[in-house]
Structure 1
Amino acid sequence: MVLAFRWLLRLFTGLVVLGVVALLLAYWILTRSLPDYNENFTLSGVEQPVEIVRNNNNVPHIFAKTEADAFYALGFVHAQDRLWQMTMLRRTAQGRLSELFGTRTVKIDELMRRLDLYTLAKTSVEVQDDRTKAALAAYSSGVNAWIEQVNSGARGRGAPEFFFFSNEIAAWSPADCLAIQKLMALQLSSHLESEVQRAQLSLILPPERLRDLLADDPNPAVAALPDYASLMPGPMPAANPRKLAYLDDPLSPFHSAAFAGASNAWAAVPKRSAAGGSLLANDPHLQLTAPSFWYLARLQLPTGGVIGGTIPGMPIVLVGRSDKLGWGLTSSYLDDQDVVIEKINPANPEEYLTPEGPKPFITRRTIITVKDAPPVTITQRWSESGPILPGSHYDLQSVTPAGHVAALEWTALSDKDTSMTAAVRLMTSASVDEAIEAGRLFIAPSQNLMLADQNGIALQLIGAMPARDPGHRTQGRMPAPGWEGKNRWTGMLPYEDNPRFVNPGSGLLGNTNNKIIDRPFPLHVSFDWGDTQRIQRWLALMKTREVHTRESFIEAQLDTVDPTARNLLPLIGADLWFTGDAAPEGTPERQRQTALKLMAEWNGEMNEHLPEPLIAEEWLRVLQDRLLRDEIGPMADKFTHIEPLFVERVFRNEGGASVWCDVIQSAPVETCTDIARSSLDEALLNLSEKYGPNIESWRWGDAHQAAHDHPVLGDVPVLRYFVNIRQSTSGGDTTLMRGRTKGDGAEPFLNVHAGAYRGVYDFADPDSSVFIISTGQSGHPLSRFYDDQSELWRRGEYIPMSLDPALARAAAVGDAWLTPAPP
């Protein structure tokens, strides 16, 4: 017995030792891909010695004597820290994810191949100016130099993810940079889905109820659109809205419209600044991931130093500042997409009908290689409007009659896209005027460009604006018949028609994706805007001060007071506050009274430590679902976030909208007070089941955790604890410090879309400017720079944005040189 115990003990000890050795070996292998930031390199492709100083937050400061060498070094450091992320972005744009992930991503690849963004990017390389071509070539050489170092130096395949998937890395090319820029345009576009949704609802709801649910920004009214069914010949397909899984896959660039681009930016002229210099604040909102999409960098160019946020894969500082100019971006919500319904020629299915007669589709076959499965062959088809999309994508089949197909018009489908040239020119502009002129060459994605120099400020919409016929049947708000010529684009509007605001009399400019201009169709910019709420809070904060400071701009950027809650709760609870008799402890009535008392004293601050935000959000979520589901059935699943204008219209009974409160399926006539009360009871029951019965112990931050998840390994058991970053956060869907919630599933209040980059620039003292990103510079989970900025970001802190070389070298974590190889 003792002998058996001894052998078992020896066996157990041996297994433990082997396990420890295996873990140490795995750790050693994985850490081989961690770069040494003090290592010098002798490389072909660099013209003169380049110094790369990484400050104590691992932000590379690149000191080069030529512009080409600066871009070369940027490609090198991007690849050092984010090689896996870059290759994934490229694969996504190419439609080649299924080579790694099998059948899971076939739908994503299929749609990417039909859009053919990568082919368009390759063609667009030739239309860039010579300076941009040189920058793209130098940047690509820098990326390839690091890939060569990985291959020749046994550097752990370049990133840990390559141990789980193929480590074959094709050489980087200029077309890859342009493809990633087009991929950004895809992620920031939402009008295709919005058009389909409006058409679907128009088949269910009468026009007045459609205006309730998809309410326009409350400004001058828009003429009523035609009934969608009347536009199409023959019967429409039966309504059968489906949840499209590929829209929510972490690997997919096709996110639902609820997560289209968003952002904040505001600026002040010197006379509105306490220190006498222009101010600019910017926080672009993107999907939260680990690592962040953003990468901080400083380049020393012949025109001077520039510093700010870059996207790995592109040779530009996309948002940031120089000594002379600051620039920021917000999504403009320009209506840059239209769905055109093409009528197939009954006599020849390879043709479609136009006012000039039948025309042939342009067709081409392409093969998608699928891991562990047979390849998939698809036929790409284009009409004169754009690529033909299958009905299974974006639920287009629900609004496409038999004998017809849907084509997509989209500004990003240009093979002469000079947006990269515009970005390079913007980065090196010395004034607001130069930057505005650089914007002339932007095609897609359309953005609001916020600018500030030493003397003034400006807001310029950049990106090509489609020219539509004034007689367009749906004004671009719903799919339209292509066989009627007036429903196709007629070209692009001149740049001078893009909205522009320079040095306004108020001395302040701001944008929260709100409506920026009120012009009649077809110069309207858009009917659908990204915000009607945050702008209210921004206006209130700006009016509290005659002059502003860097600190007041930071305060606004981090503000967590929710105007939606402040506006809606008094309406929906108007007949509930302080009503009814005192109820015994532990009863639903008592819990409701406690919740109402808390919210009656609440100022709308979405603080992570408070229960009130959680109660308010769940109440509104349940309330909206009850209002919608009775009327539109499964279509209610598509409304995953609160529609503030809709709820307000219902509870103010604008245009008879209170009829939404009556449950059609029941005999009694329910009032809005009835629905508000029952919704609150259901909300409290839901929260009690998840967080316990004690309301005072609930915390918004327990539900509203920032989910910086790894797109590939984030769902893998055990590994997810190493690669995902989760944090309790304040803010919400419509606060200035926006933390867009997931909206559905078991964790509907996860913070999944936020300002992953924040920057505030003060031209009275440029080196006092600050910035932050949501994770860290490195994409390597074992690096201390993988998440070192995430806690600062969560707490609303920043790091310095200095162009002073001495400050960069102070406490630097690395100082490396790239030296030309001998001829």
Structure 2
Amino acid sequence: MFTLFRWAVRLTTTLIVLMVAGVVLAWYFATRSLPDYDATAQVAGISAPVEIVRDNANVPHIFGATDEDVFFGLGYAHAQDRLWQMTMLRRTVQGRLSELYGARTFDIDQVLRRYDLYNAATASVVAQDASTLAALTAYADGVNTWLDEVNKGALGRGAPEMWLFNHPIARWQPADSIAILKLMALQLTSSLENEVLRARVSLIVSPARLSDVLPDDPGSGVAALPSYAALVPDVVPNQPSTRMAYDPLMPVPPRALAGASNAWAANATRSATGSTLLANDPHLGLTAPSIWFLARLELEGGGVIGGTIPGVPLILTGRSANLGWGLTTANVDDQDVFLEEVNPNNSEEYRGLDGWQSFVSRDSIITIKDAPSVTIRLRWTENGPVIPDDLFDLGTITPPGHVTAIGWTALSQTDTSMSAAMALMRARNVDQAIAAGELHVAPAQNLTLADRNRVAMQTIGAIPMRDANHQSQGRYPSFGYLPENRWQGVSAYVDNPRFVDPDGGIVGNTNNKMIDRPFPRHVSFDWGDTQRVIRWRRLMQAREVHTRDSFIEAQLDSVSFTARTLLTFMGADLWFTGDAAPDGTPERRRQIALELLAAWNGEMNEHLPEPLIYAAWARAFQARVIRDELGPLAAEFTHLDPVFLERIFRDVDGASIWCDVIQSAPVETCADIARQALDEALIWIAENHGTAIEAVRWGDAHEATHDHPVLGATPILGWIVNIRQSTSGGDNTLMRGRTRGTGPAPFQNVHAAGYRAVYDFADPDSSVFISSTGQSGHPFSRYYDNLGEMWRRGEYIPMSLDPDLARAAAVGVTTLVPVESSE
């Protein structure tokens, strides 16, 4: 027995030693890729020494003799900190994820191959101006120089993820940076999905009810359209969904999670500082690391500082000494779905304007890890690439004998958006910045500007011109062989919305409807916000003059105008009614919930129970009123639509009919549904967050999910690489934290401002900014999440162009020396 015990001890000890050794060995190899920020390297490709000074937040300040040297340094710094993220972005846009992840990502690769964005980017390289092409080349040289150092120095393959998904890294090319811009365009548009959903719903409900559940934003609307069935009589309604399962690697977000943002600016007459102010917070899906990387570039024309995206040599949103610029999604209707009739006698032909004509076709091989490669046939019509019926629910709206082609501005092969952004960085005033925007193609953005004296907002990006006789006005898929349905080019830049030197002294955009022009000059029918703008307008008008701090307060404002409005309707027949009820009963829980909500000011504070009660109640109410009307299609409505619910409660055009359950004999009222929805919400809260309704916290449900797209779902590793935080805000607050909308945790914060900044041109170096995680993409770096907690608390770091401040507390200075100087 003693011998057995002794061997058991030996075996246990050996296993422990092996486990410890394994952990140490894994740690050693993983940390080999941590860069040394205090180093000197001899490199080829620069004309003079380049300094990369990393301040105490690890923001690189890059100094060089020429602009090309500075962009070389930015490429080097991006690769040091975000090599894995850069290569993943490139693989995604190339449609080559399956080489690493196998069959899981085949549909993603198929989508990107069919859009052919990478080839469009490659073709667009020659369309750039000389200085932009030089910058792209220098940036690529900087990335490749770091790759060479990784290979020569055995620096852990460049990133710890490379040990798990080892694959050769190709040299960086100028086309790669342009392609990533196009990938961002894909993440910011939802026009295709809007068209498909509108068509599907119109096959089920009447035109009047369609206007309820998919309402136009307030303001002059469009004349009533015929139903989709009237335009496409052969389509079969109630087809099962063919939507792909959610995957964090998919760059096409669900319709409700497409791009959003806030930006506003005040001129000197509305500023207490004597000069202008500008605030910007672009909203994208939360990830670890963030898509944003803070940087400062000292160009020959002066310094610029702000937010970059790894892989792209641009300050996309930021400031110089004299000009600030911010971006918000413009919600331009930049995509159309075309129904292309296939020749029944020849599947390689489709109906064109003058009869049958051949598809443009090409085979593309998708290599799949641990599985045979798959060859897909890419096809194009004159209207755009053909997308199969089994993607994006296109099969549900496609009549027999047809395929769908997608028209989209980002498919341009002469895309000069990169040159536009380069010119913007060099602009010195509002007029020069507006002129620079003329070269921008996609994604369409609202460019908010402030120089020392003036403010403006300009929509940049190509806006498709549609025929006044277009069958669906771009709101439904339409037949591609009819000339009136085809695009008539794009609008002239001078016709894009433009607001310069406003009388009120303030411009701003929360993705709201900003212009009311009749079709076809309408810009869009589907805007991104009807709620935040109301709260923003009130905050801007509440002060005669603003300061940097008042702009910060507005940026971090978590009061929901939507909650204040909807609660007055949902609780109209419930406030302070009902008989006394004993503790623990459903009636008592309802009374407690209503008492809490009655005293609530609508602040979506993470520490309060009221936001969770409201959010669960409103969600349950909307689900109940659409479930029997839309059936399985109700699952597409993942987020609250305040305009839809307000139409119901106000009975606009008979919209209260939604409250009556079709399949039940009684006639239900909205008050009946509101009471039932509240009980349902309280049960859900009790099951998921505890029965003590006064003790639940919104922040526990509204947890920000900065998850690693690849390793985030892996046991143990997920605990290391994911960043989770309790957060305030919600879907409709200025401090927007868009909720997931589906699954067991529908209120998780998954889409928010990964970058926030406020620029004060009375004292530019008092400007501030922040990103949502940290500067490094390396999970074992102390800079992986160094900014995350500050972001959560609504704090910022200085945004200074003073080189002495950067050097004063630098965490390291990397010096790149040209090879020639060492001889």
Which interval holds the TM-score relative to the shorter structure? over 0.9
Partner of 1:705: 703
Q: Which runs of 4+ in 1 moved over 3 A?
A: 1-4
Partner amino acid, structure 2, of 1:543: Q
Are the aligned partners of 2:242 and 2:390 in contact in 1 as well (CA < 8 Å)?
no
CA distance in 2, matches of 1:413, 1:565: 40
Residues 602-751 of structure 1: matches in 2 within 5 Å? Answer: 602-751=600-749
Match of 1:348, SS state, is: coil
1:243-282 deviation per Cα after TM superposition (whole angstroms, max 9, x unaligned): 6234x20001011111111000000001111111100000
Give a deviation string over 1:403-444, Cα, whole Å, max 9, x none: 111111100010000000000000111111000000000000
Partner residue in 2 for 1:17: 17
Listed one character per residue, the Cα deviations across residues 123-169 of structure 1 (whole Å, up to 9, x for unaligned) are: 00000000000000000000000000011100000000000012310
* 1:58 matched residue in structure 2: 58
Amino acid at match of 1:390: P
**Residue correspondence of structure 1 range 218-237 to structure 2 within 5 A:** 218-233=218-233, 235-237=234-236
Inter-partner Cα distance in structure 2 for 1:725 and 1:567: 33
Q: Does 1:283 align with 2:281?
A: yes
Query: Once the two structures are superposed, what CA deviation does each residue of 1:42-94 show, in whole Å capped at 9, x if it has no partner?
Result: 00112110111000000000011100000000000000000000000000000
Matches within 5 A, 1:537-556: 537-556=535-554
CA displacement 1:171-218 (0-9 Å, x = unmatched): 000000010000000000100000000000110010000000111111
Letter in structure 1 aligned against 2:244: A
8 A contact 2:244–2:392 mirrored in 1: no
Deviation at residue 226 of structure 1 after TM alignment? 1.5
For the Cα contact (< 8 Å) 1:216–1:527, is it kept in 2? yes
Alpha-carbon distance between aligned partners in 1 of 2:242 and 2:372, rounded to the nearest angstrom: 26
Identity of aligned residues (%): 63
Q: In the alignment, which residue of structure 1 is the partner of 2:186?
A: 186
Q: Counterparts of 1:257 and 1:743 in 2: how far apart (Å)?
A: 11
How far 1:799 sits from its partner (Å)? 0.3
Alignment partner, residue 267 of structure 2: 269
> For 1:78-97, what aligned pairs fall within 5 Å after superposition?
78-97=78-97
The CA distance in 1 between the partners of 2:734 and 2:415, in whole Å, is: 33
Q: How does 1:348-747 map to 2 (within 5 A)?
A: 348-747=346-745
Is the 1:46–1:72 Cα contact (8 Å) retained in structure 2? yes
Q: Secondary structure at the match of 2:464?
A: coil
Counterparts of 2:214 and 2:550 in 1: how far apart (Å)?
Answer: 35
Question: Is contact 1:237–1:397 with CA below 8 Å preserved after alignment?
Answer: no
1:695-717, CA deviations, whole angstroms, 9 ceiling, x for partnerless residues?
01100000000000000000001
* Matched position secondary structure for 1:349: coil
Question: Which string of whole-angstrom CA distances, capped at 9 and with x for unpartnered residues, describes residues 352-397 of structure 1?
Answer: 1133222211111111001111111111110000001111111011
- Cα deviation, 1:764-819, whole Å, max 9, x if unaligned, reads 00000000000000000000000010000000000000000010011110011000
- Alpha-carbon shift at residue 448 of structure 1 (Å): 0.2
Residue aligning to 1:169: 169
- In 2, distance between residues paired with 1:141 and 1:554? 38
Distance 2:111 2:6 in 1: 62
The Cα of 1:347 is off from its aligned counterpart by: 3.4
Determine the C-alpha separation between the residues in 1 that align with 2:5 and 2:393. Answer: 65
Aligned length in residues: 821
Alignment-mate amino acid for residue 70 of structure 2 = A
Q: Does 1:105 align with 2:105?
A: yes
Mark the runs of 5 or more structure 1 residues left unpaired by the alignment.
none
Aligned equivalent of 1:753: 751
Question: 1:358 aligns to what SS in structure 2?
Answer: strand
Take 2:9 and 2:290, find their aligned partners in 1: how far apart are those partners? 47
For the residue of structure 1 that corresponds to 2:584, the secondary structure is coil
User: What SS class does the counterpart of residue 377 from structure 2 fall into?
Assistant: strand
Contact 2:200 2:237 in 1 (8 A): no
Contact 1:705–1:728 (CA under 8 A) maintained in structure 2: yes
* Aligned residue type for 2:69: D
Alpha-carbon distance in 2 for matches of 1:805, 1:243: 54
- Separation (CA, whole Å) in 1 of partners of 2:430 and 2:424: 10
Deviation at 1:300, TM superposition (A): 0.5
- The two structures, once aligned, show a CA RMSD in angstroms of 0.9
- 2:488 is paired with a residue whose SS is coil
**Paired residue type of 2:207:** P
Q: Tell me which of 325, 328, 331 is aligned to 1:327.
A: 325
CA drift of 1:501 comes to 0.3
Instruction: Give the superposition deviation at 1:455.
Output: 0.9
| 1:452 counterpart SS class | strand
1:52 aligned counterpart, secondary structure: strand
Aligned to 2:244: 245
TM superposition shift of 1:345: 2.2
Q: Which amino acid aligns with 2:289?
A: P
Amino acid at match of 1:245: M
Q: Specify the code of the residue in structure 2 equivalent to 1:236.
A: V
Aligned to 2:120: 120
Contact 1:710–1:724 (Cα < 8 Å) also in 2: yes
- 1:212 aligned residue: 212
Say if 2:94 and 2:113, in contact at 8 Å, map to a contact too: yes
Contact 1:267/1:451 (<8 A) preserved: yes
Structure 2: distance between partners of 1:72 and 1:540:
45
Comparing 106-115 with 15-24, greater Cα deviation is found at: 15-24
Evaluate the alpha carbon distance shift between residue 268 and residue 241 of structure 1 in structure 2; reply closer, same or farther with a 3 A threshold: farther
Partners in 1 of 2:107 and 2:8 — Cα distance? Answer: 52
Contact 2:262 2:511 in 1 (8 A): yes
Other structure's SS at 1:168 match = coil
1:763 maps to 2:761: yes
1:157–1:167 contact (8 Å) kept in structure 2? no
- Are the equivalent residues in 2 in contact too, given 1:53–1:816 (CA < 8 A)? yes
Letter in 2 for 1:274: A
1:304-319 counterparts in 2 under 5 A?
304-319=302-317
The Cα of 1:16 is off from its aligned counterpart by 1.8
Alignment of 1:289-308 (within 5 A): 289-308=287-306
Please name the residue that 1:198 is paired with: 198
Instruction: Measure, in 1, the Cα distance between the counterparts of 2:356 and 2:376.
Output: 23
